[in-house]
Structure 1
Amino acid sequence: MLAPRSLRKRSSRKQSVLRRVAILASVLCLLAAVGVAWLLIDNHSPDASKKPQRAESPPELSAWLADWEWEAGLSDLRTAAAGMSGLQVFAAYFDKEDHLTFTTEFQDAYGQIREAAETDGVEHLSLTVVNDILYEDGTESQKDADLIGRLTADSGSRGRHVEEIVNALRSYPFDGVELDYEKIPSSDWDGMSLLISELYERLAPLGKSLRVVLEPGIPFDKVKLPSGPTYVVMAYNLHGGFSGPGPKADLSFIRKLGAKMDSLPGEPYLALAAGGFDWLDSSGKVTSLTERQAEELASLSEASPGRDSESGSLHFRYEDDDGNKHTVWYADEETLALWAETARSIGYSHVAIWRLGGIGEESLGWMKSVGASS
């Protein structure tokens, strides 16, 4: 039986309203779902929360001082110290028995380095241990990959190495330790990660810090690095003794490296290299230069350095007294500032400088201003 016309009209209007409500509810649900999905995707993207949080950190600057050029390094330190929060002393190596050893230069210089750091207000002084083997005949094996395998082979070898480092800190009371172990075979990274973790756990109760240097080619997303230590990534070696002429780093290299670093724990440092290289055209022989040496070469040869737009680096060509042609690339104050600003723009405000000794006056002034502005 059909309902009266008036009832059918009211029923029809009611159903129409219900349909509109249902459609509106569906649209709202869809918009909400899209919004949630967007948030989830955004929070897991490489440009999400990590970078802004790191970018908000005040700038920090540290630098290395090498034992083989400690006097020139101390001279630079006295100028730039006001901007530095830390100094890493590149001084601990290994002997043929895989034990730590220190050069005579370091042993003679340690007291003056310590005094200068304290006098100039450097808050943190660290001992850098590097995987170079020094032999009694004066030869050496730099960045010895096999050494890493022996040091990290098992809990016993790692434990002995950890205790030897702790004993070194008793002989030379640094505030912390830095491991600069390079050319690590992929097969040794599990052991290396365990060494880092075990050393950190041993040092922490003693009030000592741990910092670890990482090469730019390491797959940070695959290597399991423990939280706790500070990590510093080398943002250089784009060109050098292994290549033809070019800058130590450029802006594209720094940005790509920064994206890789997002998987690292904590607030990593980006290491920038002062100075540059001199390439001999005829043989390809490469000579390392400090900034001051590069400036002197340019002045003596009456060359006018040009600035590369992709890296901010200076470069020039000259002819030596024997008629040999050379190409020089190097970093000055403007270069270092540009590299550091590029790093900061992608979320990395902590910078380390390799190395003190022969840095130009304007670059030292820039270093002094970095930490002072924080």
Structure 2
Amino acid sequence: MKRNRGGLIVTCLIILIVGAILLWFKPWKLAEEPIKPPEAKPQPTEAAAVPELSAWLADWEWETGLADLKVMKEGLTSLQLFASYFGAADQLHFTEEFEEALPEILKLYAPVELQSLYLTIVNDQFQENGAAIQKSPELITRLMATSESRSKHVDELVAAVDRLGFGGMEIDYEQIPDADWDKVLLFYSELYQQLQAKGKALRIVLEPKVKIEELQLPEGPEYVMMAYNLYGYHSGPGPKADLAFITGLADRMKHLPGKPAMAFSVGGFDWDENGKVKALTEKQAALLLKETDSDLKRDDASGSVYFDYTAKDKLKHQVWYADEETLKQWNDTAQQAGYSKVAIWRLGELEETSLDYLKEYVTRK
């Protein structure tokens, strides 16, 4: 009996000690401080890609373009010099303005930075009398006619960009006849191979009307889709682009190889009631707004601004143009669709607020 009674006492003591330990650690606090699972690291997506910005500088507005370039240079991944056309004999033609501008542009670039300069070739043709045919389809047909004519053209292009020491070339051939597209695709491929052999890049600009869904564009070049010309010389008043237009182009651009860029056009147009159209830079439009003391309105569908005024000749006018808020909405729409590479047509008389926005755009992560 004494041994059993002692065992009972020991058992009770053990229970009391365990209970005391449990009370000391207060396990009920676990409910107040649940263990947090490790946070999942966000995975990068295409839409979150770091923005890239390129721009064109045109020979006929090189001085104002150069002023904007001095502000924007550090934020640009590349600069396209819109400066090479064709002469009457289908040969490359450089304007006097380009020859004058080039030394001033090169002052801003160290030799190692020339890789970010591209020479843009456009199918405008100057006649012997000085008249110009813009975006000549007939020129394209002649250049692409045979393997020999294509090869001669490719050789001339490669020699030009090699002589200048630029890092790349851009082809901006527009109004391409449907019947010539098969040969143009061969030209793109042949030019890309020749440039690549010399360590140089190729960019190709495409009009919105090009049937990219049906074309087998070659891999390798960087493609740039023109997200403008919705309204312009060919139409009545309206924005150069609207958000639905940009979204639709972005969806179609899935058919392009690589990682294409989307090009936006700054500035705007002035339409009078007789249908006469005049192009305006952003600064010209803003000055006209101030001089006419007009009411500025913003279009929800495009982000563009517009105003009406009556000129001294009593004709009614309507002006549409893009400001920094317009650029923001266009860029945001493109980014939401997965396209963070943007090209700006063109430098020259951008307002300071737009320049500031573009600088901020390329520093966003």
Could you list the per-position Cα deviations for residues 329-362 of structure 1 after superposition, in whole angstroms to 9, with x for gaps in the alignment? Answer: 0000000111011000001110000000011111
* Pairing 1:170–2:162 present: yes
Q: Which residue is equivalent to 1:369?
A: 360
- SS of 2:233's equivalent in the other structure is coil
1:83 deviates by: 1.7
Could you list the per-position Cα deviations for residues 190-241 of structure 1 after superposition, in whole angstroms to 9, with x for gaps in the alignment? Answer: 0111000000000002111000000001111101100000000000000000
Q: Alignment identity in percent?
A: 50
Cα RMSD of the aligned pairs, angstroms, is 1.6
Could you list the per-position Cα deviations for residues 68-108 of structure 1 after superposition, in whole angstroms to 9, with x for gaps in the alignment? Answer: 11010000011122221110000000011111010011012
Q: 2:227 & 2:96 partners in 1: Cα distance?
A: 31
Give 2:99's match in structure 1, choosing from 94, 107, 110. 107
Q: Which residue is equivalent to 1:33?
A: none
* Pairing 1:60–2:52 present: yes
Could you list the per-position Cα deviations for residues 226-273 of structure 1 after superposition, in whole angstroms to 9, with x for gaps in the alignment? Answer: 000000000000000010000000000000011111010000000000
1:54 deviates by: 3.5
Larger Rg: 2
Change over 3 Å in CA distance of 1:126–1:204 after alignment to 2:
same
Give 1:285's match in structure 2, choosing from 276, 284, 288. 276
* Pairing 1:254–2:252 present: no
Could you list the per-position Cα deviations for residues 7-61 of structure 1 after superposition, in whole angstroms to 9, with x for gaps in the alignment? Answer: xxxxxxxxxxxxxxxxxxxxxxxxxxxxxxxxxxxxxxxxxxxxx9542421100
Q: Which residue is equivalent to 2:341?
A: 350
Q: 2:308 & 2:172 partners in 1: Cα distance?
A: 34
1:123 deviates by: 6.2
Is the CA contact (8 Å cut-off) linking 1:239 and 1:245 kept in structure 2?
yes
Q: Which residue is equivalent to 1:231?
A: 223
Q: 2:314 & 2:213 partners in 1: Cα distance?
A: 49
Aligned length: 322
Give 2:65's match in structure 1, choosing from 64, 73, 96. 73
Structure 1, unpaired ranges of 5+: 1-51
Q: Which residue is equivalent to 1:17?
A: none
Is the CA contact (8 Å cut-off) linking 1:86 and 1:122 kept in structure 2?
no
Name the TM-score, length of structure 2 as normaliser. Answer: 0.86
Q: 2:315 & 2:184 partners in 1: Cα distance?
A: 45
Could you list the per-position Cα deviations for residues 164-188 of structure 1 after superposition, in whole angstroms to 9, with x for gaps in the alignment? Answer: 0111123322110000000011111
- SS of 1:101's equivalent in the other structure is strand
Is the CA contact (8 Å cut-off) linking 1:85 and 1:371 kept in structure 2?
no
Q: 1:239 & 1:61 partners in 2: Cα distance?
A: 24
Give 2:88's match in structure 1, choosing from 93, 96, 108. 96
Structure 2, unpaired ranges of 5+: 1-43
1:371 deviates by: 2.0
Is the CA contact (8 Å cut-off) linking 1:250 and 1:311 kept in structure 2?
yes
* Pairing 1:334–2:325 present: yes
Q: 1:203 & 1:327 partners in 2: Cα distance?
A: 45
Give 1:138's match in structure 2, choosing from 119, 130, 133. 130
Could you list the per-position Cα deviations for residues 261-315 of structure 1 after superposition, in whole angstroms to 9, with x for gaps in the alignment? Answer: 101000000000000000011x100000000000000000001210000000000
Q: For 1:238-277, list aligned pairs within 5 A.
A: 238-277=230-269
